[in-house]
Amino acid sequence: MVLSTADERTLIAFCVSRRTGKAVVRNRIRRKCRVSLEPLMDRLPPGWRIAILPGRSWTTMPAETGTREVIRLLDRAGIQLLDGPEKQPDPSSNSTN
Protein backbone atom coordinates (compact mmCIF):
# COMPACT_ATOMS: atom_id res chain seq x y z
CA MET A 1 0.00 0.00 0.00
CA VAL A 2 1.49 3.36 -0.97
CA LEU A 3 0.50 7.00 -0.71
CA SER A 4 2.21 9.94 -2.38
CA THR A 5 2.61 13.07 -0.25
CA ALA A 6 4.20 16.50 -0.59
CA ASP A 7 6.47 15.77 2.37
CA GLU A 8 10.24 15.54 1.89
CA ARG A 9 10.48 12.27 3.81
CA THR A 10 9.51 8.75 2.86
CA LEU A 11 8.07 6.69 5.71
CA ILE A 12 7.85 2.92 5.68
CA ALA A 13 5.75 0.68 7.92
CA PHE A 14 5.86 -3.09 8.25
CA CYS A 15 2.41 -4.39 9.15
CA VAL A 16 2.61 -7.92 10.50
CA SER A 17 -0.73 -9.46 11.47
CA ARG A 18 -1.23 -11.49 14.64
CA ARG A 19 -2.35 -14.32 12.37
CA THR A 20 1.29 -14.54 11.25
CA GLY A 21 2.38 -15.89 14.62
CA LYS A 22 3.28 -14.99 18.16
CA ALA A 23 5.14 -11.78 19.04
CA VAL A 24 8.56 -13.43 18.66
CA VAL A 25 7.77 -14.46 15.08
CA ARG A 26 6.25 -11.07 14.20
CA ASN A 27 9.26 -9.21 15.59
CA ARG A 28 11.65 -11.51 13.70
CA ILE A 29 9.81 -10.70 10.48
CA ARG A 30 10.01 -6.96 11.19
CA ARG A 31 13.75 -7.22 11.82
CA LYS A 32 14.24 -9.16 8.57
CA CYS A 33 12.26 -6.50 6.71
CA ARG A 34 14.43 -3.71 8.13
CA VAL A 35 17.62 -5.56 7.17
CA SER A 36 16.25 -6.17 3.65
CA LEU A 37 15.24 -2.53 3.22
CA GLU A 38 18.46 -1.00 4.58
CA PRO A 39 20.43 -1.19 1.29
CA LEU A 40 17.64 0.69 -0.50
CA MET A 41 17.09 3.56 1.94
CA ASP A 42 19.33 6.02 0.06
CA ARG A 43 17.58 5.19 -3.22
CA LEU A 44 13.97 5.73 -2.11
CA PRO A 45 12.36 8.80 -3.66
CA PRO A 46 11.04 11.43 -1.23
CA GLY A 47 7.39 11.97 -0.45
CA TRP A 48 5.97 8.46 -0.02
CA ARG A 49 4.16 6.59 2.73
CA ILE A 50 4.73 2.87 2.17
CA ALA A 51 3.13 -0.03 4.05
CA ILE A 52 4.61 -3.47 3.50
CA LEU A 53 2.61 -6.50 4.65
CA PRO A 54 5.16 -9.34 4.87
CA GLY A 55 4.07 -12.93 5.28
CA ARG A 56 5.43 -15.77 7.37
CA SER A 57 7.89 -16.70 4.59
CA TRP A 58 10.04 -13.72 5.64
CA THR A 59 11.20 -15.65 8.75
CA THR A 60 13.40 -17.92 6.62
CA MET A 61 14.13 -15.54 3.75
CA PRO A 62 17.78 -14.45 3.32
CA ALA A 63 18.39 -10.68 3.38
CA GLU A 64 19.38 -10.57 -0.30
CA THR A 65 16.13 -12.29 -1.31
CA GLY A 66 14.20 -9.89 0.92
CA THR A 67 15.86 -6.91 -0.76
CA ARG A 68 14.89 -8.24 -4.19
CA GLU A 69 11.34 -8.79 -2.94
CA VAL A 70 11.11 -5.21 -1.64
CA ILE A 71 12.38 -3.92 -5.01
CA ARG A 72 9.74 -6.04 -6.77
CA LEU A 73 6.98 -4.73 -4.49
CA LEU A 74 8.07 -1.10 -4.96
CA ASP A 75 8.19 -1.57 -8.73
CA ARG A 76 4.74 -3.15 -8.66
CA ALA A 77 3.46 -0.13 -6.70
CA GLY A 78 4.94 2.24 -9.29
CA ILE A 79 7.75 3.60 -7.10
CA GLN A 80 10.98 3.99 -9.05
CA LEU A 81 14.18 3.84 -7.03
CA LEU A 82 16.65 6.66 -7.54
CA ASP A 83 19.88 5.89 -9.38
CA GLY A 84 22.77 4.81 -7.28
CA PRO A 85 24.69 1.74 -6.29
CA GLU A 86 22.69 -0.83 -4.40
CA LYS A 87 24.42 -1.63 -1.15
CA GLN A 88 24.56 -5.28 -0.17
CA PRO A 89 22.94 -6.21 3.17
CA ASP A 90 25.37 -6.60 6.04
CA PRO A 91 25.49 -10.35 6.79
CA SER A 92 26.55 -9.68 10.40
CA SER A 93 23.21 -7.92 11.06
CA ASN A 94 21.25 -10.93 9.76
CA SER A 95 20.05 -12.53 13.00
CA THR A 96 18.76 -16.07 13.14
CA ASN A 97 16.70 -15.76 16.32
Report the percentage of the chain scoring pLDDT > 70.
81
Number of domains making up the chain: 1
Give domain status of residue 87, yes or no: no
Tens of pLDDT, residue by residue over 43-55, are 888 888 888 888 8
Residue 54 domain-assigned (yes or no): yes
Cα dihedral across residues 69, 58, 86, 82: positive or negative:
positive
Domain-located, residue 74: yes
CATH number (domain holding residue 48):
3.30.230.10
The reply to whether 37 falls in a domain is yes
Enclosing domain of residue 16: 2-81
Q: pLDDT at position 84, please?
A: 67
Asked whether residue 88 is assigned to any structural domain, the reply reads no
Beta carbons of 89 and 38 less than 8 angstroms apart: yes
Residue 97 lies in a domain: no
pTM (predicted TM-score): 0.70
